[in-house]
Amino acid sequence: MKSLSNEQKSYLFRSIRTVRDFPKPGILFYDITTLVGDREAFNFLLDHLAERYADYGLDYIVGIESRGFIFAAALAARLRVAFVPIRKPKKLPYITISQKYSLEYGFDQVEMHVDAFSGVQDAKVLLIDDLIATGGTARAALDLIAQTQAKCVEACFLLNLRELNDLGEFSRRTNVYCVLEA
């Protein structure tokens, strides 16, 4: 099950609730809480990802705050590798490195502990988030991983919002796997 059939993708996609006009008018929000709340769908997804990444020789799985934590931590436990969180500013208690990224009207920032991959030279990392829209947060996360000399072997997203991004630049930096597309 290293790749999913169209029927399997449809099954997962149907488990995600869409909410119109949230958090503001004109936005279609993909609510993954219905997927993680469906034990069959969630376990099916985790089985698929565990099989896909079983032979990657991963040292760490990195999840982006906050929904990325759900998938990254669960998969890290299944694969028996360490989980590393990338968080919004001032959420981590130890020394951090940070990376700013552009928003439509301004900037935001993400942080990671400076020693997140300590003890593992050239750590092999998988980056996971629930979805990729414009890609700003994901690019910032890749920058943080690169600052530590670790190697992001792939970035995995449950859902790619094709209308909002072009994965071209992003895929030149690392391999990209999107389970679903919308």
Q: Which residue segments constitute the domains of the chain, with CATH numbers given?
A: 57-181 (3.40.50.2020)
As a whole number of angstroms, the distance between CA 94 and CA 177 comes to: 31
Predicted local confidence at residue 169, as pLDDT: 79
Q: At what angle do helices 6-14 and 39-53 cross, to 10 degrees?
A: 130
Q: Which residues are known catalytic residues?
A: 67, 104
Instruction: Name 75's bridge partners.
Output: none
User: Which two three-digit tokens encode residue 25?
Assistant: 């008018």
Predicted local confidence at residue 103, as pLDDT: 75
CA distances (Å), 36 to each of 22, 68, 71, 81, 101, in order? 19, 12, 9, 21, 28
* pLDDT tier for residue 20 given thresholds of 50, 70 and 90: very high
The stretch 44-61 carries a mean pLDDT of 98
- pLDDT, one tens digit per residue, over 74-114 is 999 999 999 999 999 999 999 999 999 987 678 999 999 99
- Residues 182/152, Cβ–Cβ less than 8 Å: no
As a whole number of angstroms, the distance between CA 132 and CA 94 comes to: 28
CA distances (Å), 181 to each of 21, 67, 112, in order? 20, 17, 28
